[in-house]
């Protein structure tokens, strides 16, 4: 079963994020060690006791669509959603003015990790609902906020994001869904696919955010508007009215996340579904990207979450399974003592702890961007914008290897569905695909976040890394060599940045290097944070603070990262240097 890594979360929030600095932000004075500890402990109980036990059974049963278009989620899901809603967990980081809890993104991210480790398919509904809340908070008008936000924050209603159509995937310029003005609303007609929790039985209403075109809209992505289309219309007194004209035609049969209903939705088979414009006409893509940016951060979080769940299961199996006698070990010892199994698990733990640290540091960047103004706010928004494609791309790509390693630890039993290890491997495969593939994240990072400013944002990040490593090398607490390793990797990464910038006149070369550049920054950022973590652990150890075993393990984990993960920076830098020339020697007709 799953046990939330609460101690590591608390360590990262205290030592790497800095809860005291978060509490100093405008409106965050309620944040304290005691509050965060209470939140994490309570969330861990719900995740471990209620949500996690539904994971394997939910995968086996899946969600089911009935002939009338309704969808039933696996047994226990509706009750778990009610427990999550009753606990106030849906709108954890939402504005208290409309029923949210108002906690910072960095704390909400730690809690969301628990839900997604416990049950990835179930937790998707909450992530999409949080994204809808965020979009409405930013671009909804006063009436829309008052109508929809309290019910979304309470979990009585849930939210979705509707972009993709059969002919319009990544290329939203091909979108055909239409919105025809009719009095104070619009009539929406069209079909959307891949709609996560587009129909289900967990909440009493579903609020769809739908991209569509007005009759006189310009062609391409500049002619897309965003609409609120509720499953049930809402009366003036807030009660539910008539069923809107949106229907589930089918739900997809998938490789993984089988418990999550991925719907094909038809809007307007007859008169058209009633929708309400959110934000400005023809600015829908800008509005939707508010939700998309949140979703990309959250999908990166899912990469961490599924890796943690797979790791815990692999450790549990390796501690129990006896097979052969480990080299220089004793008869009867379990396979965790075999050097190669120990290598796999140690490297997994190192990357997972690096991911968690980078994620929560990214979360506090969003908090600072939201709560600070002027140059400070601009700096942190730029930092968050830089980190989000790295978080999404690096963590989801690595989740494929980490969940595969967890299957490998199980040996043949990992290939058998009964153990549950295969489910994590299957569930992880969607993560580098949805909410923007790794290539899309790489293009965003390279073209919008790197080439556009001549590499200034990336150099600012590297400057901070070097400064931190200088402090660690000078700290004299036994972890200085970690700072040396990361500083050297930073030099290598900056050389790769120079190569990328030198090729800026060839967009094709830049695109060919994008995924490697993204992964390189991910591995570098992970080393940065684990070196900081080891330094904090060494200081705590010297001061006699905290659990000595935890602090020793934290330092050992950082050392393992430098040995097994950080060298990827050198490899990826070499690919950035040599890859494009080699790639374009290949004629596609030869493939």
Q: Which residues contact 249 (CB under 8 A, 6 or more apart)?
A: 69, 191, 263, 264, 265, 266
Q: Which residues contact 222 (CB under 8 A, 6 or more apart)?
A: 282
Beta-bridge mates of residue 229 = 208
**Contact assessment for residue 554 and residue 533, using Cβ atoms and an 8 Å cutoff:** yes
Extract long-range pairs of 69-75: CB within 8 Å, 24+ residues apart: 69/199, 69/247, 69/248, 69/249, 70/199, 70/201, 70/248, 71/199, 71/200, 71/201, 71/248, 71/251, 71/261, 71/263, 72/201, 73/200, 73/201, 73/202, 73/259, 73/261, 74/259
Beta-bridge mates of residue 275 = 186
**Contact assessment for residue 427 and residue 419, using Cβ atoms and an 8 Å cutoff:** no
Alpha helices in 503-546 (DSSP H): 507-543
Nearest alpha-carbon partner for 361 in 445, 301, 291, 446: 301
Sign of the Cα pseudo-torsion (341, 347, 351, 357, in order): positive
**Contact assessment for residue 333 and residue 347, using Cβ atoms and an 8 Å cutoff:** no
CA–CA gap between residue 198 and residue 264 (Å, rounded): 8
Q: State the burial class of residue 29 (Cβ atoms within 10 Å of its Cβ: 0-12, 13-18, 19+).
A: exposed
Helix (H) or strand (E) holding 302: helix 284-320
**Contact assessment for residue 326 and residue 318, using Cβ atoms and an 8 Å cutoff:** no
* Active-site annotation holds for 271: no
Q: How many CA atoms lie within 13 A of 396 on its CB side?
A: 31
Q: What does the chain come to in residues?
A: 591
Q: Which two three-digit tokens encode residue 522?
A: 């991910």
Sign of the Cα pseudo-torsion (344, 10, 295, 197, in order): positive
Nearest alpha-carbon partner for 203 in 291, 132, 104: 132
CA–CA gap between residue 480 and residue 324 (Å, rounded): 39
Which position among 113, 351, 435, 568 bears the catalytic label?
435
* Torsion (CA) 466, 448, 367, 122 in degrees, nearest 10: -110
**Contact assessment for residue 305 and residue 401, using Cβ atoms and an 8 Å cutoff:** no
**Contact assessment for residue 322 and residue 334, using Cβ atoms and an 8 Å cutoff:** yes
User: So which residues are the catalytic ones?
Assistant: 435
């Amino acid at each position: 079963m799953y046990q939330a890594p609460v101690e590591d979360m608390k360590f990262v929030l205290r030592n790497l994020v800095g809860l005291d600095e978060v509490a100093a932000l405008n409106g965050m004075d309620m944040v304290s060690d005691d509050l965060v500890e209470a939140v994490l402990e309570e969330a861990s109980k719900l995740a471990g006791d209620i949500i996690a036990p539904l994971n394997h059974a939910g995968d086996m049963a899946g969600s089911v669509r009935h002939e009338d278009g309704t969808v039933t989620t696996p047994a226990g899901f509706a009750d778990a959603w009610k427990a999550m809603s009753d606990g106030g967990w849906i709108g954890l980081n939402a504005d208290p003015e409309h029923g949210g809890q108002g906690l910072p993104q960095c704390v909400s991210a730690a809690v969301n990790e628990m839900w997604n480790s416990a049950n990835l398919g179930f937790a998707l509904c909450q992530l999409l609902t949080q994204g809808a809340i965020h979009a409405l908070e930013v671009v909804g008008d006063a009436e829309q906020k008052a109508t929809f936000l309290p019910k979304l924050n309470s979990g009585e209603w849930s939210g979705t994001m509707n972009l993709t159509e059969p002919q319009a995937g990544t290329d939203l310029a091909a979108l055909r869904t239409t919105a025809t003005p009719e009095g104070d609303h619009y009539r929406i007609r069209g079909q959307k696919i891949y709609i996560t929790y587009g129909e289900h039985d967990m909440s009493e209403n579903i609020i769809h955010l739908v991209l569509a075109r007005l009759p006189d809209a310009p062609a391409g992505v500049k002619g897309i508007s965003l609409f609120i289309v509720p499953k049930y219309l809402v009366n003036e007194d807030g009660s539910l009215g008539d069923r809107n004209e949106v229907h589930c035609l089918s739900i997809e049969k998938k490789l993984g996340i089988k418990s999550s209903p991925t719907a094909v939705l038809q809007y307007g088979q007859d008169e058209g579904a009633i929708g309400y414009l959110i934000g400005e006409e023809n600015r829908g893509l800008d509005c939707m990207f508010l939700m998309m940016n949140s979703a990309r951060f959250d999908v990166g979080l899912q990469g961490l979450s599924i890796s943690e769940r797979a790791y815990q299961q692999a450790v549990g199996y390796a501690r129990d399974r006896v097979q052969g006698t480990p080299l220089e070990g004793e008869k009867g010892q379990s396979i965790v003592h075999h050097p190669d199994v120990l290598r796999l698990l140690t490297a997994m733990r190192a990357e997972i702890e690096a991911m968690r640290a980078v994620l929560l540091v990214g979360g506090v960047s969003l908090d600072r961007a939201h709560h600070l103004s002027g140059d400070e706010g601009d700096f942190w928004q730029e930092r968050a914008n830089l980190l989000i494609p790295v978080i999404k791309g690096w963590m989801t790509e690595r989740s494929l290897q980490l969940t595969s390693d967890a299957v490998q630890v199980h040996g043949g039993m990992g290939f058998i569905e009964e153990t549950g290890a295969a489910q994590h491997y299957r569930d992880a495969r969607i993560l580098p695909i949805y909410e923007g593939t790794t290539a899309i994240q790489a293009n965003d990072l390279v073209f919008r976040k790197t080439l556009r400013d001549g590499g200034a944002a990336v150099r600012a990040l590297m400057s901070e890394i070097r400064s931190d490593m200088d402090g660690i090398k000078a700290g004299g607490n036994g972890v200085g060599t970690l700072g040396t390793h990361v500083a050297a990797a930073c030099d290598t990464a900056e050389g790769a940045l120079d190569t990328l910038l030198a090729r800026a006149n060839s967009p094709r070369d830049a695109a060919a290097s994008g995924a490697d550049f993204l992964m390189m920054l991910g591995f570098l950022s992970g080393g940065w944070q684990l070196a900081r973590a080891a330094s904090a652990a060494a200081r705590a150890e010297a001061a006699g603070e905290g659990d000595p075993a935890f602090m020793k393990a934290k330092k050992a984990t950082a050392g393992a990262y430098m040995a097994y993960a950080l060298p990827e920076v050198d490899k990826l830098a070499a690919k950035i240097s040599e890859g494009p020339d080699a790639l374009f020697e290949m004629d596609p007709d030869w493939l």
